[in-house]
Amino acid sequence: MVVSFGLERLGLLSQKYPRSMLGAVLLACIFFLYGAAHLGIDSNIRDLFKSDNAAYGKFEEATKQYPSRENDILLLVEGDNLLDPDILHRLGELSLDVMLLDGVQKVISIFDAQHVPSQSNPSSGFIIPDAFDPTYDRNEVAAALKKHPFVAKTLLSDDDKATLFIINLDEGLTDLAQVRLLCDEIKQLAKTGTAGQSVRVSLTGIPVVRTLLLDVLNSDKLTFRLASYLLSILLAWLFFGQFRYMILAIAPPLVVTIWLLGGMGWTGRNINAITNVVPTLVMIITFSNAIHFLIALRRHQLAGLSRDDAIATTIRTVGPASVLTSITTAIALISLTLAGQPTITTFALTAAYGTALAFIAVLAIIPALATLLLKEGHVPSGGHRFAKLVAYLSEAASSLVMKWGRGIALSGALMVAAGGYLYSLNEPHFFYTDHLPRDSDAYHAIKTIDQKLSGTSNIQVFLQWQSARSEVSADMIDLIGEVHRILKAEQDIRQVWSLYSLYDWRRKAGKTDAEIRAFFHENVDSLGTFILLPQRSALVSGQLPEMDAQQLNPLLESLETKLSQLAMQYPDADITVTGIAAQTARSTRDIIGNLSASLAVAIVLIIVLIGCLLRSPITALYAILPNLLPLTSVGAFLYLSGHGLQFNSIIALTVGFGIAVDSTIHMLNYYHGTRAALPIWQERLNETIRHIGPALIVSTLALLTGGVTILSPMPTTQLYGILSVMVLVMALIGDLLVLPAIIRTWESTRPKAS
């Protein structure tokens, strides 16, 4: 039998003092409901990459000094005739109207572009004149805009069919409710200002993405819990066919959800894009545990035991296995903390906390409710159609194993080997747009900007000088220029912005170095986008379309190699490659690598733990193949489908493994626990499949209700749901067919097998 540390005795206390236990549960619900009312939502994806390392520290420092990109709304306007006088006039008015909104600091657009002063034209003027000026020449204006270093490919596409307004928000505007109102105002102004014109207006940018994610998370949390709970009710009714049993099955998941959300609220752990699935996950784990308990309870009642004896026997037989399954699931979840990333650590600890709550709720609630609700002497019906179907599937599995055991075991081994090879070929992947609904304006705008303009992603080179600087010196311009040229030489970088852009533009207009430096000195306060003399820093930004981490890391390594060589020529300067794209690419590689390692650690620990707590080393060997099967199968799917290894996929695999191994434990616990009653292994194995098989099938169906995350409009959450379903289905095959086949193969080769 399982070493359970006596924790299952909670169920015996619940049976002995049912009203007191339910009263304690109710008081706990009241306490946790208050905490749940204070639960917040965090839509900042950047938190996923927070770290204590030096690279992230530089990223934070650069972002603090040059925050505009973090707080910009991008307004994209698309149309076939954007440079026509009437449309230009309307867009110019739109730019002014947006500028006047509360919360807007400034608007950067093609209407800000000016001619550089030259000897032939000493006074600079706007490139776009009054759109109704009779001298307006569309071709001349288009040519001038495309020569401008801050407009070409950044604010205006090469085909003149897309233009971008960069809306800088006030630094103090961080409340998402206010940002949402501002976005609505901008949309309304754009709609009114372009009415009657064949143009499309879309908003994107980090503030817009955060508000969109907030909406998705709010919608998902309601959809997931409601759909999962309704499916659980339906499944309980289909299998048990009795109202009392249905209440016993669905009460613990409801209570656990309240406890979990309340605990998160009390401890200040907000819902985010990663932890959004935790309540649903814990709910279905609780429901699965309840199903195992109730199937055993009904089996004991059908065997002729009284109500109280059936409850007590179920606690003593299923309880220890539930202890072990809770421990193994918690170990799998806690292993995620090895990734060393705060957001994933929060997910892991929250889910592990929920797993503990699931165990407590099942043993605290079901025995108490069963004592009060089930009538003494009432034998539950065992002939429901759904129950018969489940029993038939279990009988069929037993027949297959006894007839084709060796072939099934060999097939399982070959699948694990092939899947493991394909799994090893997976590379880390991450796209910000995978967190956006495909039909959203923000997603459309990002894809259009990536396709037609310089891109929504950027790599920043953060320059810091050790010595104080009172003016823009020649050596500063030289260094900025060198960095600028290195970035511009990279094929994937479409546009580079820096102080050197302005320097080169004015130099080509005939200005001398002395004149340009004098201009910088006179206008240094207006150059804060590129250089900050009090902070002794400068920023060079390279624009590029969104790239996968696998593609971006080689580019970063190339830049770092070239810039490290350049740094030797400028000992007074510190040169750092940073920015959201760079930080994301580095973190993706490191975190996913750590998550993969944590999954391997969890597998080893859990397999060893099974052997120790079941007091049988051979049992640990039994458990290896059936539990590797779902992992390698899903890994093969990730490779063949091109998804690769993502944060959500590794988390889904780890969580899925932690849950899937529970079924293995229930099978092995029953097989070893009936050794004395059924000494002949063939009879014992057949009995195990027939009795535990229905519980595995129904509990897997219960766990599959967690696949409602597929309903999310967020692709990463959809993928999590798909992978979870695949893991659970393959785990059922592994436990119902492969595990018994391995046992049969081993037992049949031992001396005196009968």
In a domain, 455, yes or no: no
Q: What is the mean pLDDT of the chain?
A: 84
pLDDT at 738: 93
Question: Which pLDDT value is given to residue 754?
Answer: 42
Domain assignment of residue 13, yes or no: yes
Counting the structural domains of the chain, the total is 2
In-domain check, residue 503: no
Domain that holds residue 326: 9-38+211-433+585-749
Q: Is residue 579 domain-resident? A: no
Contact 657, 627 (CB under 8 A): yes
Burial of 707 per CB tally in 10 Å (0-12, 13-18, 19+)? buried
What are the tens digits of pLDDT across the range 24-66? 999 999 999 988 888 777 656 566 666 667 777 888 888 888 8
- The mean pLDDT of 451-460, rounded to a whole number, is 90
Mean pLDDT of 433-459: 89
The CA angle 652-639-449, to the nearest 5 degrees, is: 90
Q: Quick one: 236 and 355 in the same domain?
A: yes
Query: Beta strands of 550-631 (E only): which ranges?
Result: 573-578
Separation of alpha carbons 192 and 194, rounded Å: 6
Domain identity same for 227 and 139? no
Q: Give the pLDDT band (50/70/90) at residue 753.
A: very low
Helices and strands counted in the chain (H then E): 23, 9
- Domain stop point among 173, 204, 235: 204
153-179: per-residue pLDDT in tens?
A: 889 998 989 999 999 888 777 777 888
User: How sure is the predictor about 718, in pLDDT bands with cuts at 50, 70 and 90?
Assistant: confident
Q: What is the pLDDT of residue 97?
A: 93
Instruction: Check whether residue 297 and residue 382 sit in a common domain.
Output: yes
Q: Is the sign of the CA dihedral 489, 491, 492, 493 positive or negative?
A: positive
Tokens of 276: 């959004």
- Distance, CA of 614 to chain centre: 35
Are residues 262 and 34 in contact, defined by beta-carbon separation less than 8 angstroms? yes
**pLDDT for the residue 135:** 67
pLDDT digits (tens, 9 = 90+) for 537-590: 999 999 999 888 788 889 999 999 999 999 999 999 999 999 888 888 887 777
Identify whether the C-beta of residue 685 lies closer than 8 Å to the C-beta of residue 401.
yes
Residues 253 and 401 in one domain: yes
The string of DSSP codes covering 404-450 is HHHHHHHHHHHHHHHHHHHHHT--B---GGGGS-TTSHHHHHHHHHH
Same domain, 218 and 133: no
Rounded mean pLDDT of 746-753? 70
State the pLDDT confidence band at 487, using cuts at 50, 70 and 90. Answer: very high
pLDDT band at 640 (very low <50, low <70, confident <90, very high): very high
- In this prediction, what percent of the chain has a pLDDT beyond 70? 93
Residues 241 and 380 placed together within one structural domain of the fold: yes
- If asked whether residues 127 and 23 sit together in one domain, one would say no
Which tokens go with 52?
Answer: 């204590």
pLDDT reported for residue 169: 87
Domain identity same for 198 and 222: no
Q: In the listed set 204, 225, 244, which residue is the last one of a domain according to the structure?
A: 204
Using alpha carbons only, give the angle 206, 719, 213 rounded to the nearest 5 degrees.
25
Are 119 and 244 in a shared domain? Answer: no
Q: 204-216: string of b/e by CB count within 10 Å (b at 16+)?
A: bbbbbbbbbbbeb
Task: Look up the CATH number of the domain holding residue 105.
Answer: 3.30.70
Q: What pLDDT does residue 538 have?
A: 93
Answer yes or no: are the C-beta atoms of 202 and 441 closer than 8 Å.
yes
- The reply to whether 507 falls in a domain is no
If pLDDT is split at 50, 70 and 90, which confidence band does 299 have? confident
One domain, residues 368 and 423: yes
| pLDDT the model gives residue 537 | 92
Indicate whether 63 belongs to any domain.
no
Q: Please tell me the least confidently modeled range out of 49-63, 309-323, 348-362, 433-447.
A: 49-63
Residue ending a domain, among 181, 204, 227, is 204
The answer to whether residue 553 sits within a structural domain is: no
Residues 429 and 391 in one domain: yes
Quote the pLDDT of residue 381. 62
Is 99 a domain residue?
A: yes
pLDDT reading at 81 higher than 90: no
* Whether residue 237 sits in one domain with residue 168: no
CATH number, domain of 711, equals 1.20.1640.10
Given a cut of 70, whether residue 380 has pLDDT beyond it is: no
Which tens digits make up the pLDDT trace of 382-392?
Answer: 556 777 888 88
Q: What is the per-residue pLDDT for 644?
A: 86
Percent of the chain with pLDDT over 90: 28
Give the pLDDT score at 50: 67
Quickly state the pLDDT bin for 361 (edges 50, 70, 90).
very high
